[in-house]
C-alpha cells in the first residue's frame, strides 16, 4: 500500500513540475494565461458503508489543471494593429468560418488588407457603411479599406462673424454738396479697392470633383446697423464665371447686435438661385470655373452640390468690437488618400485621410463566456467553445461587462515568475519526500525478508 501512496505522490509532484515548467516557458507569450495543478486525496473505501474512523488514505490524484484568467500587463508597442484587452473578453478569430478565441492581439494585414494573425486567421468584427456607420449584428472579417475617399461638394458654410457696430459707414450714396443736396452714387464695390468695403473673409469650398475654390465675402457698412455683403468665388460671379459682378445681399441688425432681417439683390439674379431663408443665404446653380488656355474663365467641367450651397449667418452679430471671424466651418472636401489608422477604446477603427477627413471603417468585436474554465485550449494562445464554457456572448468592447481595447499595445503573460520559481522548489521537495517514502518502504521490506 505504501508503495502505491508514494508512487501517486511522485506522479502528482511530476505533474506539478510540468505545469510550473509550462508557465515558466510561456512567461513571454503574449496573452498567455498561467495554469495551476489542483490535487485531491484518494480513499479506497470512500463509497463503502461501515468505514471506521481509522481509515488510511490511498494517496493523491491530479484533480484538475485550471487556468488563471487574471489580467496581464498591457504594454505599449507602437504598432496600431497591436491590441490588448483591459478587462473581460476575447478577440474572435475565424479560420474559414471555424471560430476560436484569444487574448493575444498581435495583428497585421494580409495581401487583401484583411486584419489577420501571424498565421492568417481573420479578426472578426462589425463592418461600417460608406458614411462610417457601424453595422452591428453580423460578424465579418475586418478589413482596412485603402481606397480613396470620394470628394464631397460643399453644401453648408457656417459663418461666426462679428461686424463692428461702430465701424465707419461707407454709404452706397453720398451728397454732392449742392443746395439743396442731391444724393449721388458713392464709390462702387471693387474687390481690388479696400476703401470700398470694411472687411473680407475667404473660405475654401469644393466642387463635386474635389477641386478647391475660394469663396470670398466682402462686408461693407452702408448705414446704422446696416451691412451689405458681396460674394465672389475665385473672384468671379458664382452663377456666371464670365462676369466679375458679385452676388449681393444685405443684413440689418437689431439694437442688441442680433440679426433683424436679411435680403438678396435679385436685380440681375433669379430669386431661385440667390435667396434668403431663416438667416441663411442660399446659392443654387454654382458653376465651378477655371481659366482656360486663353486666360478666359469657363466651367471646369464639374458642378456644385445639386441641392445648392447654404451660407448660414445665424452666428453673425454686430457688437461694438473688432470685425472678425470668430468661427467657421464648411462640409466639403477634396479626394482623400488613407494616411493613418487609429483604434479607440471601444474597438472602432478610424481611417484618417489626406484631406483632413476621418471615418469609421469597422469595429472590433469581443466575446465573453459564462465559464472561462470550460474553454478548450487548442494551442497558439487560443481557446475553443465547449459545452462546459457555454455559448459566447459577442458584442462591442465596453458593452456591459466587456472590457476595453487598448491599441498600440499587447497584453503580456500573467505568469508571476517569482511565484513559479517558488513552486519549482516546492515540487522538487515534494518529489524527494515521496521518493523517500518508497525508499523507506523498500528498506522495511528487505528487513522483513531477511527475518524469514
- Looking at the fold, whether 396 and 314 belong to one and the same domain comes out as no
pLDDT band at 433 (very low <50, low <70, confident <90, very high): confident
CA dihedral 233, 235, 240, 241 (to 10 degrees): -110
- Tell me: do 181 and 324 sit in the same domain: yes
The answer as to whether 390 is a domain residue is: yes
Is residue 43 scored above 80 in pLDDT? Answer: no
Q: So what's the pLDDT on residue 48?
A: 55
* Contacts of 102 by beta carbon, 8 Å cutoff, 6+ apart: 31, 90, 91, 93, 117, 380, 381, 382, 383
Q: Is residue 149 part of a domain?
A: no
Count of CB atoms within 10 A of residue 199's CB? Answer: 19
Q: Are residues 80 and 48 in the same domain?
A: no
Rounded-to-integer distance, Cα 95 and Cα 356, Å: 36
Which residues are 42's β-sheet partners?
A: 59
Higher pLDDT, 9 or 143: 143
| Within a domain: 266 | yes
**Is 138 inside a domain boundary?**
no
The enclosing H or E element of 127 equals strand 122-127
Whether residue 338 is contained in a domain is answered as no
One domain, residues 323 and 299: yes
Sheet-wide strand order for 199-206 = 199-206, 212-223, 226-233, 247-253, 259-264
Across 292-373, where does the E strand assignment appear?
297-299, 309-312, 324-330, 338-343, 348-353, 358-364, 366-368
* Confidence band for 316, pLDDT divided at 50, 70 and 90: very high
Lowest-pLDDT choice from 48-62, 142-156, 232-246: 48-62
Q: Does 294 lie in the same domain as 228?
A: yes
* 46: pLDDT strictly greater than 60: no
In a domain, 136, yes or no: no
Least confident of 86-90, 91-95, 153-157, 418-422: 418-422
Query: Is the peptide bond between 234 and the residue preceding it cis, with omega within 30 degrees of 0?
Result: no
Are 177 and 289 part of one and the same domain? yes
pLDDT (tens digit, 9 = 90+) per residue, 245-281? 999 999 999 999 999 999 999 988 999 999 999 999 9
The mean of the pLDDT values for the chain is 90
CATH code for the domain in which residue 305 is found = 2.60.98.20
Report residue 447's pLDDT band, with 50, 70 and 90 as the boundaries. Answer: confident
Last residue of a domain, one of 379, 395, 411: 411
Asked if residue 259 and residue 111 are part of one domain, the reply reads: no
Same domain, residue pair 400 and 428: no
> Do 289 and 382 belong together in one domain?
no
Residue 336 lies in a domain: no
Looking at the structure, do residues 215 and 88 belong to the same domain, yes or no? Answer: no
Interval 79-108: pLDDT, tens: 999 999 999 999 999 999 999 999 999 999
How far, in Å, CA of 283 to CA of 35, rounded? 70
Query: 8 and 26: one domain?
Result: yes
Number of compact structural domains in the chain: 3
- Percentages of the chain per state (helix, strand, coil), in multiples of 5: 15, 40, 45
Which own/partner pairs from 257-263 qualify as long-range (CB within 8 Å, at least 24 positions apart)? 257/165, 257/317, 257/318, 257/319, 258/317, 259/313, 259/314, 259/316, 259/317, 260/225, 262/313
d(CA 433, CA 429): 6
Position 190 in a domain: yes
d(CA 435, CA 424): 16
Q: Strand 59-67 and strand 98-102: pairing?
A: unpaired
Q: What angle do CA 28, 401, 374 make, to 5 degrees?
A: 60
pLDDT at res. 53: 65
Q: Could you give the C-alpha distances from 133 to 93, 128, 129, 237, in angstroms and in order?
A: 23, 5, 5, 38
- Residues of the domain holding 19: 2-70+414-451
pTM summary value = 0.78
* 294 in the same domain as 171: yes
Amino acid at each position: 500500500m505504501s508503495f502505491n501512496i508514494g508512487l501517486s505522490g511522485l506522479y502528482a509532484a511530476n505533474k506539478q513540475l510540468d505545469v510550473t515548467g509550462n508557465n515558466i516557458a510561456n512567461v513571454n507569450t503574449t496573452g498567455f494565461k498561467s495554469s495551476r495543478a489542483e490535487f485531491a486525496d484518494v480513499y479506497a473505501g470512500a463509497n463503502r458503508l461501515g468505514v471506521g474512523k481509522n481509515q488510511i488514505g490511498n494517496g493523491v490524484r491530479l484533480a484538475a489543471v485550471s487556468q488563471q484568467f487574471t489580467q496581464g500587463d498591457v504594454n505599449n508597442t507602437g504598432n496600431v494593429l497591436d491590441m490588448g484587452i483591459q478587462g473581460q473578453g476575447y478577440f474572435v478569430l475565424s479560420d474559414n468560418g471555424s471560430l476560436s478565441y484569444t487574448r493575444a492581439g498581435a495583428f497585421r494585414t494580409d495581401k487583401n488588407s484583411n486584419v489577420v494573425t501571424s498565421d492568417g486567421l481573420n479578426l472578426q468584427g462589425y463592418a461600417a457603411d460608406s458614411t462610417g456607420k457601424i453595422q452591428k449584428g453580423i460578424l465579418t472579417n475586418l478589413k482596412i479599406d485603402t481606397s480613396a475617399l470620394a470628394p464631397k461638394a460643399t453644401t453648408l458654410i457656417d459663418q461666426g462673424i462679428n461686424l463692428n457696430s461702430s465701424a465707419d459707414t461707407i454709404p452706397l450714396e453720398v451728397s454732392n454738396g449742392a443746395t439743396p443736396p442731391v444724393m449721388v452714387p458713392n464709390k462702387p464695390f471693387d474687390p481690388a479697392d479696400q476703401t470700398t468695403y470694411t472687411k473680407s473673409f475667404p473660405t475654401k469650398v469644393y466642387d463635386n470633383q474635389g477641386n478647391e475654390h475660394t469663396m470670398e465675402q466682402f462686408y461693407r457698412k452702408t448705414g446704422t446697423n446696416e451691412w451689405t455683403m458681396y460674394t465672389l468665388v475665385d473672384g468671379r460671379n458664382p452663377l456666371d464665371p464670365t462676369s466679375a459682378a458679385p452676388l449681393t445681399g444685405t443684413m440689418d441688425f437689431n439694437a442688441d447686435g442680433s440679426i433683424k432681417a436679411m435680403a438678396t439683390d435679385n436685380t440681375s439674379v433669379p430669386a431661385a438661385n440667390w435667396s434668403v431663408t431663416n438667416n441663411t443665404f442660399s446659392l443654387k446653380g454654382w458653376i465651378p470655373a477655371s481659366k482656360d488656355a486663353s486666360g478666359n474663365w469657363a466651367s471646369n467641367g464639374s458642378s456644385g452640390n445639386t441641392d445648392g450651397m447654404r451660407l448660414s449667418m445665424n452666428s453673425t452679430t454686430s457688437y461694438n468690437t473688432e470685425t472678425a471671424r470668430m468661427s467657421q466651418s464648411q462640409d466639403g472636401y477634396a479626394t482623400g488618400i488613407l494616411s493613418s489608422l487609429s483604434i479607440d477604446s471601444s474597438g472602432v477603427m478610424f481611417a484618417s485621410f489626406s484631406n483632413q477627413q476621418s471615418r469609421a471603417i469597422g469595429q472590433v468585436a469581443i466575446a465573453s463566456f459564462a465559464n472561462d474554465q470550460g474553454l478548450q485550449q487548442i494551442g497558439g494562445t487560443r481557446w475553443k467553445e465547449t459545452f462546459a464554457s457555454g455559448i459566447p456572448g459577442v458584442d462591442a468592447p465596453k458593452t456591459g461587462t466587456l472590457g476595453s481595447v487598448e491599441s498600440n499595445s499587447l497584453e503580456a503573460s500573467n505568469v508571476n515568475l517569482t511565484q513559479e520559481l517558488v513552486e519549482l522548489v516546492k515540487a522538487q521537495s515534494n518529489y524527494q519526500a515521496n521518493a523517500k517514502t518508497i525508499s523507506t518502504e523498500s528498506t522495511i521490506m528487505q528487513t522483513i525478508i531477511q527475518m524469514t
